[in-house]
């Protein structure tokens, strides 16, 4: 099982969605984690609603900081475009997906971001 950490700033939208899609599409090959460099403390209700539309219940997820996740070397650390706000985490490989933060987008735009994340997660798997 490859250990993959998805990181964004608040751990309320992008990284949560990526973690969810990794569970949906890669549960047999990926052990996914997500966290935020400055977690908001909540998962964005739009993210929960958006994932409900594709049959995934994200209501049990919680916003986590980098100190809330295992202190291990991850196989991959995927950042979501948070730049300098993402501190160093031990990883064999790193990749930045440069995905815009959808928190202030309308639901149609939010869904497009969700679909982009799903495509990227599938490619990663």
Answer whether residue 82 shows pLDDT above 80: no
Please state the pTM of the whole predicted model.
Answer: 0.94
The full set of domain ranges for the chain reads 2-124
Q: Residue 23 — φ and ψ, nearest 5°?
A: -70, -40
What residues are labeled active site?
8, 82, 86
Q: Do the beta carbons of residue 28 and residue 56 sit within 8 Å? A: no
SS3 3: strand
Tens of pLDDT along 23-81? 999 999 999 999 998 899 999 999 999 999 999 999 999 999 988 999 999 999 999 87
Distance (Å, whole) CA 43 – CA 61: 7
Question: Going by CATH, does the domain composed of 2-124 fall within 3.40.50.2300?
Answer: yes
Answer whether residue 84 shows pLDDT above 60: no
Tens of pLDDT along 94-115? 999 999 999 999 999 999 999 9
């Amino acid at each position: 099982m490859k250990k993959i950490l998805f990181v964004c700033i608040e751990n309320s939208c992008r990284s949560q969605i990526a973690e969810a899609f990794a569970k949906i599409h890669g549960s047999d090959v990926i052990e996914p984690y997500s966290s935020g460099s400055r977690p908001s403390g909540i998962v964005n209700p739009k993210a929960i609603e958006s994932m409900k539309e594709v049959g995934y219940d994200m209501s049990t997820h919680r916003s986590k900081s980098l100190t809330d996740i295992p202190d291990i070397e991850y196989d991959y650390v995927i950042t979501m475009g948070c730049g300098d706000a993402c501190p160093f985490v031990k990883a064999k490989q790193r990749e930045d997906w440069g995905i815009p933060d959808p928190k202030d987008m309308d639901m149609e735009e939010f869904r497009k971001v969700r679909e982009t994340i799903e495509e990227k997660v599938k490619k990663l798997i």
